[in-house]
Amino acid sequence: MTAQTHTLTTDDDDRGTRLDRWLTQALQARGAEFTRSRIQALITDGHVRLNEGPVLAPSTKVKTGQTYCVAIPAAMPTTIAAQPLPLDVVFEDEHLIVINKAPGLVVHPGAGNSDGTLVNALIAHCGDSLSGIGGVARPGIVHRIDKDTSGLLVVAKHDEAHLGLAALFAEHDIERAYLAVIPGALRPGVGTVETLLGRNSRDRKKMAVIGDTETRPDARHAITHYRTLETYGRDRGRMPGEPLASLIECRLETGRTHQIRVHMHHLGAPLLGDPVYGRGPGLAGLKPGDDAADAARKTLRQFKRQALHARDLGFVHPISKEALAFCAPLPKDMQRLIDALGTL
């Protein structure tokens, strides 16, 4: 993306509006689509000027007749290293790429994961086809799935695709379905979980169901639709006759951090293997001394993550407007888990 300059003047209707909000709307009216967070970064980095001087506060209230100059810098090379890691590419064109992410792969570099991530691999894979995501030549991560969740996610290669995908997610116009394995069974077998989600007040690395937005303004609306696909075995312990485990499908209407994991925990059925919201690798109620039960116990001990897989992904291509739909088969570790449960 080459450097751009926009000159914008306020009028009477704009008076009193926050600068970041006004600039976002004014640029969108010109066909220059920038997120509000991107505009805020431009302001704080000194790229917005009024009367030859920089305006550094996004919360500045505009006045009538002010002329602002917005300098959009050219995309700079990323500081994230390219690493030729294996990628399962499901779809790719000059605008976006759809990946079937392996379990254990972190999406984006961060604390404790400075390299070896999906972004490192994408920079190596895409090379010069990347441009200008947020002013830096790197993949545009529109949504994420957890390190130990497998399955599909879409990544933008440039600003226009990124903004188009972000709009689809904001309007909930993305089809996403996950497969999950839980202990026991959900009652009813088909239903919807609708809650507010926010950071756990006692552990900031966890999310939690929140009672209301008045006490927690950070809480966000979250909706998960689920249905039971299969049940496995029968409990020989505290819940005789009840299924030992179930395979469920979860369709996301919203996409909040840890949404499915928290919602299943909220229903009393945390995902098998979930190290944060679950009950450990075991499964209560297995018949002692039974060969199938012993094999299931061994498989559960070897399963080192939450049993969650992003199977389906569907959306309208933000550039071509073609309807796209993808389905990723279960990874081997989760298939082995389901096969072992199926023998109970």
Report, as residue numbers or ranges, the catalytic residues: 146
d(CA 336, CA 91): 27
Task: Please give the single-letter amino acid code of residue 45.
Answer: D
How big is the CA angle at 115 (ends 113 and 116), to the nearest 5 degrees? 100
How big is the CA angle at 79 (ends 76 and 84), to the nearest 5 degrees? 115
Phi, psi angle pair for 90, to nearest 5°: -90, -35
- Contact criterion met (CB below 8 Å) for 153 and 139: no
**Which residue blocks in the chain are alpha helix, DSSP H?**
19-29, 36-44, 118-126, 159-170, 259-266, 291-302, 332-342
Q: Which two tokens stand for residue 296?
A: 């299931």
How big is the CA angle at 109 (ends 104 and 115), to the nearest 5 degrees? 75
